[in-house]
Amino acid sequence: MARAAAPWPLGHILGDVIQGLRYLGRMKSRLFLTALVLLPVSVAQDATYFPARGHWERREAAAVGMDAQALSAAVDAAVAAEAATPVDLCAYISSTLANEPHGEIVGPVRDRGPMTGIAVRRGYVVASWGEPERVDMTFSVSKTYLSTVVGLASDRELIPDVQDRVSGLVQTHHFEGPHNGAITWDNLLRQTSNWRGEQFGKYDWADRPPRGVPVEDLPNLAVPAPGESWKYNDVRVNLLAYAALQVWREPLPVVLRREVMDPIGASPTWRWHGYTTSWVELDGQHIQSVSGGGHWGGGMHISAWDQARFGYLFLRHGRWQDRQLVSESWIAQARTPTDVQPTYGYMNWFLNTRGTRGLPLPSCPESAVTFRGAGANIVYLDWENDLLIVLRWVDSRKLDSVLAGFLGAIEAQ
């Protein structure tokens, strides 16, 4: 593992303790204690640089504690690890939906660009390649933007407690009955809701159905109670987006732009799409409910530079310059392992939690986090090494070795 960064200043430690106590009172559960364990004991907080809109300062490798030759080799290895994902993403998506009932593409799709990446160390860009300014699909990385918007609602107490039932705030048919009515916000965020129903023409049972089961039997398969099992299911993800829309009562892209993307200096080129079928009437307005991925098209279309800014916000614990945009307590919640899926926190926080098979990314610190989407699209956050890496269209099977190259450039210095 690469060298640890400078110790966390006392002021930040006290701030985290205060935030944690507030969070403990709201969560009314053991989740905070688990999240506190995950917080790194050493984080580089001496770096106060934040990139201005339209510009991100570059530094030579040696200036930020990396070996130039090893860094160049890491970039070469990343480029060589380009995925075989077709450039024609419409054809790619169609192939992934071949075994799904109701697998029609209903959201915007665009062809992908070349293997692209950005590496940021101690706040400064040390490498970029490909076409980082190109707007591309991100697939399930869209879910991290969605969970962030829900987090903002929690921070502002529009959602008083994520352990509350969604039906308490969203009184629609989606959350009626003993099963769906028992679903909490935490269940939806962790993909453990086991919600049953139809949303925007897509049925929960039709998303990634088990192989070998006749289509006519799929609606009748038994479903565990909320919280008892985990399933990656975009219908239920889109339900969370719809529920968040009911709480915010304005389009989620508008909320994200105002509360996060404009303050961090993102470009105006990103777009968060829904479906042709996801337009709803709300308070007399015709609003599109956005999707949390590109499974049927749509989702977040964004450049690697703007992805890097979004990731850098979380590398800096939700703070941008003198503003706390996302609370540290929410980030702690997002990094808490899900009981029935310990490597998953809130969507789309993939944790490097040690399990029966070891670390998912054995070359990386246990405290590291990735935001992941098909393709593969990756945002890697490493607080111990003050390192942020954005990878677009990388072979997911080679992800650990690619990241190991960048960590090796720190060790080599």
Residues 6+ apart with CB under 8 A from 80: none
State the Cα–Cα distance between residues 67 and 405, nearest whole angstrom: 11
pLDDT (tens digit per residue) in 132-163 = 999 999 999 999 999 999 999 999 999 999 99
On whether both 132 and 166 belong to a single domain, the answer is no
Burial of 399 (0-12, 13-18, 19+ CB in 10 A): buried
Give the total number of structural domains in the chain: 2
Q: Please say whether the beta carbons of 343 and 349 come within 8 A.
A: no
Q: Are 130 and 28 in a shared domain? A: yes
Question: Is residue 345 one of the residues assigned to a domain?
Answer: yes
Low-confidence stretches of the chain (pLDDT beneath 70) = 1-47, 356
The answer to whether residue 149 sits within a structural domain is no
Answer whether residue 1 is part of any domain.
no
Q: Is 134 helix (H, G, I), strand (E, B) or coil?
A: coil
Q: What is the pLDDT of residue 356?
A: 67
Which of 255, 290, 325 terminates a domain? The answer is: 290
- Domain of residue 263 covers 160-268+282-290
Examine the domain organization and report whether 49 and 137 are in the same domain: yes
Statement to judge: residues 69 and 16 lie in one domain: yes
CA 205, distance to chain mean position in Å, is 24
Angle at 260 between CA 242 and CA 270, to 5 degrees: 75
Q: Are residues 328 and 384 in the same domain?
A: yes
- List, for residues 214-258, the tens digit of each pLDDT value: 999 999 999 999 999 999 999 999 999 999 999 999 999 999 999
Same domain, 37 and 70: yes
Are 35 and 117 part of one and the same domain? yes
Residues 245 and 310 in one domain: no
84 and 190 together in one domain: no
User: Looking at residue 358, what is its pLDDT?
Assistant: 87
| Full-model pTM | 0.89
CATH number of the domain where residue 22 is located? 3.40.710
pLDDT in the model for residue 285:
96
